[in-house]
Amino acid sequence: MAGGAKARRLPRVVRERQMVDAAVRCFARHGYQAASMDEIAELAGVSKPLVYLYLGSKEELFTACIRREAGALLAAVDAGVGGAEVPPDERLWAGLLAFFTYAADHPDSWVVLSRQARTQGEPFAGEVARMRDEIVGFVAGLIGEAAGEADVVITGRDVDALAQALVGSAESLASWANETPGVAAKEAAATLMNFAWAGLGNLMKSERWSPRRRLPGSKVTG
């Protein structure tokens, strides 16, 4: 008797994967608090005590979800990005493409990481913040590298701020793309690349925007 509809007595690793899969889905759909262990167990096709036996507690289960999904996202981006011999804009492009592709392919994972985990306070926010910091750091590195190549001096905080801005726009675009039918990952990546890298390029050329001077109360003149 092989290939029954419901496999019993599976090895632990398989069962754990099923459970975390189910949990990611539930957490994505309902949020951490509203997702119930009952529902997760049912969706995983196991009994509740087994979930506790393998994953410990709801908190640990959520943490496991965050860790696994964060790792997968980072791995996907890392795999897409080339080594130091590739110029920074190419590396950013590759990273963005990998990122948008991951977000599109794993919408539940993306919702958990970008939304649910960050609103649940510690320890979850910290857990996902670590991953985000890594990405921000990666982007900051690229920006710094580009600045170096262009012989431009930028303060560390400016670099951080720019990286934050870029990552934020990527996050926003990813969610928008997931919710808007017909927006491909490649398209989103291209838009962002145009938007961001060009802006960075100008910064490199020290072309900064500043408000025009005008007399208080007077109308603006061309």
Partner DNA sequence: GATGAATGAGTTTTCATTCAT
Partner DNA sequence: AATGAATGAAAACTCATTCAT
Contacting residues toward DNA, per CB under 7 A: 8-12, 15, 34-38, 46-50, 52-53, 57-59
Site map 55..94 versus a copy of itself, x via CB under 8 A = ---------------------------x--xxx-xx--x-
Which of DNA, a copy of itself, none binds 106 (CB below 5-8 Å, type-dependent)?
none
d(CA 180, CA 168): 18
Cα 161–chain centre separation: 17
Of the two residues 3 and 157, which places its CB atom closer to a copy of itself in the complex? Answer: 157
**Token duo for residue 77:** 């981006």
Q: Helices 58-80 and 12-30 meet at what angle, rounded to 10?
A: 90
Shortest Å distance, C-beta 98 to DNA = 34
Which of DNA, a copy of itself, none binds 10 (CB below 5-8 Å, type-dependent)?
DNA
Of the two residues 17 and 47, which places its CB atom closer to a copy of itself in the complex? Answer: 47
CA-CA distances (angstroms) from residue 181 to 99, 175, 184? 18, 11, 9
Which of DNA, a copy of itself, none binds 58 (CB below 5-8 Å, type-dependent)?
DNA
**Token duo for residue 95:** 């990273």
**Token duo for residue 12:** 């632990």
Q: Residue 194: exposed, middle, or buried by beta-carbon count in 10 A (0-12, 13-18, 19+)?
A: exposed
Closest CA to 127 of 217, 184, 60, 57: 60
What is the secondary structure of 70-104 as a DSSP string? HHHHHHHHHHHS--TTS-HHHHHHHHHHHHHHHHH
Establish if 176 lies at the interface with a copy of itself (CB under 8 A): yes
Which of a copy of itself, DNA, none binds 127 (CB below 5-8 Å, type-dependent)?
none
Peptide bond into 87 cis (omega under 30): no
Shortest Å distance, C-beta 4 to a copy of itself = 25
Window 84 to 143, contacts with a copy of itself (CB under 8 A): 85-87, 89-90, 93, 115-116, 118-121
Of the two residues 31 and 87, which places its CB atom closer to DNA in the complex? Answer: 31
**Contacts to a copy of itself by CB under 8 A:** 29-34, 82, 85-87, 89-90, 93, 115-116, 118-121, 157-158, 160-162, 164-173, 176, 183, 187-188, 190-203, 207-212, 219-220, 222
